Amino acid sequence: MTQWTLGIIGGSGLYQLDGLENTHTRTVETPWGEPSAPLLCGTLNGVELVFLPRHGAGHYLPPSDVPYLANIAALKQAGCTDILAISACGSLREDCAPGDFVVVDQYVDRTQGRPRSFFGTGCVAHVPLADPVCSRLSGLAHEAAVDAGITCTRGGTYLVMEGPQFSTRAESELYRQWGLDVIGMTNMPEARLAREAELPYAAIAMVTDYDCWHEDEDSVDVANVLDVMRDNTAKAKSLISRLTQTLSAQARTPSPDGIETVLDVALITAPERRDRELIARLGQLVPRVFGT
């Protein structure tokens, strides 16, 4: 058994955590560059937390320029055992209103041009991603949200758009016809990379608006989003506090989804054909597999 070290990726509006004890910042250099910001490390309710604001201090990074590879690598190198990602989103459903939360369990990735893998020429891997989040961490996050009095749906499909512009009306209506639940700009390739790093990943989508499909609501704009975001941020901090209370009461065991050993069934490049420089970088990410 091991202890939990929970990485928190804060999305729009969540740039810091309250109540952390024994705090210190940590600068982590990864083979894929620097993360969005120095890591804030500390404890909450006896659980080790490592906090990273996805868009950097002051929200200076647009979704397409977030250093996703460096962020996931930095959290893994800092000793995180699990990741909880939090992000603002738009709702594609009438019954999922601004202020509600969704524990995401599926994705449709419509991003373009973002680095999507730690692997490549010289070491090819195909990780399974049919179920892209950790079922256990997702369940614990949902329970924490309910305990905190948050209206929260367990399960939902997140459409990841490139941005930084919001949707056209035609796009929004198309995604609703597809039966999708929420729309945002940042959970991919994040979830893909967490799987390659053998890190259990769960995602909380905080609804700020109805995108632009709702006839009785104004089209989404930043001013409206910021109003809802303030309340959502307070809710997210309460959820994290409740979650750490639960985690502190139970010793961590491996994810029931086999995520921590997923590379055992993913590598396809013959050892003699592997690129030494790439393997050296991967050794810092997943020493279990590529360490010397």
Look at residue 1 and tell me whether its pLDDT is greater than 60: no
Please tell me the predicted confidence (pLDDT) of residue 216.
65
Please tell me the predicted confidence (pLDDT) of residue 13.
73
- Catalytic: 257? no
Question: Which residue in the list 18, 211, 257, 264 is annotated as catalytic?
Answer: 211
Look at residue 64 and tell me whether its pLDDT is greater than 60: yes
44: enclosing H helix or E strand: strand 39-44
Residue extents of the structural domains in the chain: 5-290
Q: Per-residue confidence at 15, pLDDT binned at 50, 70, 90?
A: confident
* 84-123 pLDDT per residue, tens: 999 999 999 999 999 999 999 999 999 999 999 999 999 9
Give Cα separations from 240 to 83, 150, 203 (angstroms).
Answer: 12, 12, 12
Please tell me the predicted confidence (pLDDT) of residue 217.
63
Rounded distance between C-alpha atoms, residue 88 and residue 13, angstroms: 8
Please tell me the predicted confidence (pLDDT) of residue 219.
61
Q: Where is average pLDDT lowest: 18-22, 167-171, 185-189, 251-255?
A: 18-22
Does the domain made of 5-290 have the CATH classification 3.40.50.1580?
yes
What the block records as the tokens of 152 is 């929260």
Question: Which residue in the list 100, 209, 216, 221 is annotated as catalytic?
Answer: 209
Is 7 within 8 Å of 84 (Cβ atoms)? yes
